[in-house]
Amino acid sequence: MKKIFLGFILVSIITVFGCSTVPAGNVGVKVYLLGTRKGVDSEVLGVGRYWIGFNENLYLYPTYQINYTFTKDVTEGSPQNEEFTFQTMEGLECSVDLGVSLHFDKSKISTMFQTYRKGPEEIRSVTLRNSIRDCLNKASSTMPIESVYGEKKAELFDKVQQMVSNQLSPNGIVIDKISIVGSIRLPKQITDSLNDKVAATQTSQKVENQLRSAKAEAQKMIAKAEGEAKANEIIANSVSDKILTWQRLQNESKAIDKWNGQLPQVSGGGVTPFINFTPRK
């Protein structure tokens, strides 16, 4: 009886510790480690508790969307620098941080494991990262540096996303979005050149503004001078006959003021009488 009891306890312990759970939001893949069944079980396990023997292993894969940031900053994502470096058409090396959103196709989980033999973390850090790095370098190698940081930046990463999706989606890794985090880090000589260009543009705009201001001031002075000349012309043309008559009368008035009040006196011989306008006393 005692042996039966101990055997029951032993079986119970093995049963408890031999069971594994597939939690909500995940699926499991059972892997046989030894024997003729070595490899991957074709059955994908849904949510629940399953018996996993000593010769078996269970890999869990999330069915929800995974968001991860590959960044230079060691305080995000990984304690290692995970930035991506790539080269442009000129051979200039740039670097960038990327955010990735993906999920695993439930119907292809078994195929995915048979292809990569990795769990979700290894797929993210190795398989996915290598694919993005290779596709980024292929896409950027045909683009000049001005396009990479300029107007075709979005086009570059849309192309990378499409290339990565074409590589990974047949095996169950579905790429939802690849996006830039922050700005592309350019080579120092390019950054210096851009800063010089910006400074030159600002100086040019300042000089242009000064020229506009000087031109406007000059036009203002010209307009003022023209206005004064026009006013003088109007004044000169407004001197009418009345003004001339008024000036003549003024001159005559001045002559009258100078007269002493004596009329002209006439004397002569013959029949011409002597005219004397001397007033009587």
pLDDT value for 227:
75
Average pLDDT, the chain: 78
In angstroms, the CA 77 to CA 80 distance is 8
- The helix/strand/coil state of 184 is strand
| In the chain, domain spans | 66-186, 190-226
Q: Please report which confidence band the pLDDT of residue 35 belongs to, taking 50, 70 and 90 as the band edges.
A: low
Residue bearing the bigger pLDDT, 239 or 166? 166
- The helix/strand/coil state of 79 is coil
For residue 63, which of 29, 105, 101 has the smallest C-alpha distance?
Answer: 105
* pTM, to two decimals: 0.62
pLDDT value for 56:
83
> CA separation (Å) from 272 to 101, 113, 266, 267, 268?
139, 158, 9, 8, 6
Over residues 166-175, the mean pLDDT reads 95
- Which one of 3.40.50.150, 3.40.50.12780, 3.30.479.30, 3.30.43.10 gives the CATH number of domain 66-186? 3.30.479.30
Q: Please report which confidence band the pLDDT of residue 76 belongs to, taking 50, 70 and 90 as the band edges.
A: confident
